[in-house]
Amino acid sequence: MRLLLVEDEERMAKLLRRGLGEEGHLVDTCRTAEDALEQAGEVAYDAIILDWALPGMDGVALLRRWRERGLMTPVLMLTARGTVGERVTGLRAGADDYLVKPFAFEELLARLEALHRRSEGQAQSWSVGPIHIDTRRRTLTCGEREVTLTGREFALLGEFASRAGEVHTRSSLLAKVWGPSFDGPPNIVDVYVGYVRAKLSDVGAEGVSIQAVRGVGFRLVVEGSR
């Protein structure tokens, strides 16, 4: 599996990375929530191992941000917090499983494997008109052409494709794809719409377009659909 480990404790991170590597897994590591926030959206990870107690933004806040952006990668949360209330908080934030420290490495492996099996058993792709979107690999395909989408491109196209034909305001797209606390440039939605349009063009998705609705926002139009 391709895994992202978000752990600020250096010794723990090294032990987990080495152990997982010996089991044949490819592991990327982030020490802070700020680094992990972007990293998780740039690579199609099979699962994320997330420590609750991170400096600055904690693991629960980071997880909420990921879910707000549409990131659906399975997350196994690690924490010394073992009360029922704390477990409920983590699960409600979007964690798929929960492991209390200290734990046996074999249990960590078993839980990751279970998450991966569960994810593999779910729908991994969907289609809109002639385009095909692989949700696990984050690829866009039309005919024989295929391109990889970044995390933000994937989330944005997903919003359009899930309600093709409906108008999405810039403010709603900003909140769903970048999160309600985003404070970057106001034209970021327009910039990424341009990126997604370019990807649609790259795969030759004729009959599928993202149209601007003046003064409102954008909509995905599929020719021949009502």
- Ordered per-residue pLDDT tens for the chain, 226 residues: 889 999 988 999 999 999 999 999 999 999 999 989 888 877 778 899 999 888 888 888 999 888 877 777 889 999 887 677 777 888 888 888 888 888 899 999 999 988 888 776 555 677 888 999 887 778 899 999 999 888 788 888 988 988 888 999 999 898 888 776 677 787 899 999 999 999 999 999 988 999 999 989 999 999 865 5
Burial pattern 2-28, b for ≥16 Cβ within 10 A else e, equals: ebbbbbbeeeebeebbeebeeeebebb
d(CA 49, CA 123): 22
Do 55 and 151 lie in a common domain?
Answer: no
Match 């795969």 to its residue by tokens.
203
Q: How many CB atoms lie within 10 A of CB 164?
A: 14
Count of the separate structural domains present in the chain? 2
Residue 148, φ and ψ in degrees, nearest 5: -95, 140
Cα 207 to Cα 20, 130, 186, 220, distances in angstroms: 45, 8, 29, 10
Whether residues 117 and 130 share a domain: the answer is no
CA 182 to CA 179: how far, in whole Å?
Answer: 6
Domain boundary residue, one of 74, 104, 121: 121
How far is 89 from 83, CA to CA, in rounded Å? 10
Q: Does 52 share its domain with 116? A: yes
Last residue of a domain, one of 63, 92, 121: 121
- Judgement on whether residues 72 and 175 belong to the same structural domain of the protein: no
Of 121, 149, 168, the last residue of a domain is 121
Q: Determine contact, residues 128/224, Cβ cutoff 8 Å.
A: no
pLDDT at position 224, please?
Answer: 67
Q: Are 52 and 90 in contact (CB under 8 A)?
A: yes
Q: What's the domain range around 200?
A: 125-222
